[in-house]
């Protein structure tokens, strides 16, 4: 479904991603871990189409299409969803209105009929149930005055409504208490589907106690330093990133 080849990305001339290769197949859940500043969020932002990042080399194929050629809204319409690390507030615009505008933009793109307000509300209430979100949230302005935890849950809710093909969760688990973490994890587990791929970007291993990934990748200094199964996350928990970073450095030295 998603294929990243030799991706190099720079911001203001500083190279942040230094050749990332990653393949994520339909139905798979991949976890991307790494220390601060390793480039995890950059990768998410580039996939979603943030324009402050400059792709200097490499390519990204999404279901065979060149993803980098599309605008952010086109990518969303193609089925790419990013749960933001810092969800943005939009005062005065209700979540209901916002999500309907989004869903209808996506439906229109796909050549489907737009949902009217009544059909939409039925559809969305069902989704709210799935991710245990209170219906009153729909009438509140998007993320406005939400606590950090509420914002993160709202992202999962939006993911449920927009039914993406590829969901990238950028540190959705950070700052959550244990109950909220379980709700988010449950939401993600419910949304696992054979035609949907999920990338979990996380700073902490804890989330993986509740979501079992198919693969774990460790990003260090702009490159994937190590890939493995779910046991890799536990290894990281005990040894930390330094050891892997060290191994990576050793490999680099050998190459030279």
Partner 1 sequence: MSNMTSATSPIDQWEKEEYKYGFVTDIETDTLPPGLSEDVIRVISGKKQEPQWLLDWRLKAYRHWQTMTEPTWANIKYPPIDFQKIIYYSAPKLDKDRPKSLDEVDPKLLETYEKLGIPLEERAVLAGVAVDAVFDSISVATTFKEKLGELGIIFCSFSEAARDHSELVKKYLGSVVPYSDNFYATLNSAVFTDGSFVYIPKGVRCPMELSTYFRINAMSTGQFERTLIIADEASQVSYLEGCTAPMRDENQLHAAVVELIALDDASIKYSTIQNWYPGDKDGKGGIYNFVTKRGKCLGRRSHISWTQVETGSAITWKYPSCILQGDDSVGEFYSVALTNNYQQADTGTKMIHIGKNTKSTIISKGISAGHGQNTYRGGVKINKGADNARNYTQCDSMLIGDQCGAHTFPYIEVKNATAKMEHEATTSKIGEDQLFYCNQRGIGMEDAINMIVNGFCKEVFRELPMEFAVEAQKLLEVSLEGSVG
Partner 2 sequence: MVGLKDISDTYRSHLARVEKSDAGDAFRWLHPLREAAFARFCELGFPSVRDEEWRFTNTAPIANTAFAPAPSGEGVDADQVAPFTLREPGAHRIVFVNGRFVPALSAAGSLPGGVILGGLCDAAREHRLIVEAHLGQYATIENHAFSALNTAMLEDGAFVYVPKGTVVDAPIHLLFLSVADAAPWVAHPRNLIVTETSSQATIVETYAALDGGVQFTNAVTEIVAGENTVIDHYRVGCESTEAFHVGALHLHLRRSSTLTSHSIIFGGALVRNDIHANLAEEDCECTLNGLYMIEGTQHVDNHLVIDHAKPHCRSWEYFKGILDGKSRGVFSGRINVHENAQKTDAKQTNMSLLLSDHAQVQSKPQLEIFADDVKCTHGATIGQLDDEAVFYLRSRGIKREDARSLLTFAFAGENLNKIRVASLRAQLEQHVRIKLSP
**What residues line the site for partner 2 (CB under 8 A)?**
36, 85-86, 89, 145, 147-149, 171, 174-178, 203-204, 206
- Contact segment (CB under 8 A) with partner 1 among 30-38, 64-72, 125-133, 195-203 equals 64-72
Strand, coil or helix: 194: coil
| Contact by Cβ (8 Å): 36, 220 | no
- Contact segment (CB under 8 A) with partner 1 among 84-92, 129-137, 204-212, 231-239 equals 84-92
Strand, coil or helix: 198: strand
Nearest approach, Cβ of residue 96 and partner 2 (Å): 23
Other Cβ atoms closer than 10 A to 117: 9
Nearest approach, Cβ of residue 148 and partner 2 (Å): 4
Nearest approach, Cβ of residue 23 and partner 2 (Å): 29
Q: Rule CB under 8 A: say whether 239 interacts with partner 1.
A: no
Partner whose binding site includes residue 100, from partner 1, partner 2, none (CB under 5 to 8 Å by kind):
none
Task: Report the alpha-carbon distance of residue 217 to residue 241 in Å, rounded.
Answer: 12
Nearest approach, Cβ of residue 182 and partner 1 (Å): 26
Written as six digits, the tokens of 94 are: 């209700």
| Contact by Cβ (8 Å): 25, 1 | yes
Strand, coil or helix: 131: coil
Of the pair 106, 220, the CB lying nearest partner 1 is at: 106
Other Cβ atoms closer than 10 A to 141: 16
| Contact by Cβ (8 Å): 22, 225 | no
Written as six digits, the tokens of 181 are: 């973490």
- Interface with partner 1 by CB under 8 A: which residues? 46, 48-55, 57-59, 66, 68-69, 71-73, 75-77, 81-82, 84, 87-93, 97-99, 101-103, 105-106, 109, 141, 158, 162
């Amino acid at each position: 479904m998603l294929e990243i080849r030799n991706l190099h990305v720079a911001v203001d001339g500083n190279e942040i991603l230094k050749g990332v290769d990653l393949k994520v197949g339909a139905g798979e859940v991949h976890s991307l871990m790494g220390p601060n500043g390793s480039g995890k969020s950059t990768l998410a932002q580039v996939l979603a189409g943030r324009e402050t990042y400059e792709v200097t080399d490499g390519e990204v194929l999404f279901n065979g299409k060149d993803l980098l050629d599309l605008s952010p809204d086109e990518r969303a319409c193609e089925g790419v969803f990013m749960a933001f690390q810092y969800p943005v507030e939009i005062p005065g615009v209700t979540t209901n209105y916002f999500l309907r505008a989004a869903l209808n933009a996506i439906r229109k793109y796909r050549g489907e009929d737009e949902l009217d307000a009544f059909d939409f509300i039925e559809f969305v209430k069902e989704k709210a149930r799935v991710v245990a979100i209170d219906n009153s949230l729909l009438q509140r302005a998007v993320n406005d005055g939400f606590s950090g935890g509420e914002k993160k849950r709202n992202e999962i809710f939006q993911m449920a409504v927009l039914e993406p093909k590829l969901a990238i969760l950028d540190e959705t688990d950070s700052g959550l208490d244990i109950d909220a973490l379980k709700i988010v994890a449950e939401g993600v587990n419910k949304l696992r589907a054979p035609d949907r791929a999920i990338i979990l970007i996380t700073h902490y291993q804890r989330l993986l106690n509740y979501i079992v990934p198919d693969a774990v990748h460790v990003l260090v200094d702009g490159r994937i330093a190590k890939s493995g199964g779910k046991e890799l996350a536990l290894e990281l928990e005990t040894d930390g990133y330094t050891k892997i970073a060290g191994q990576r450095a050793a490999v680099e030295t050998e190459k030279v």
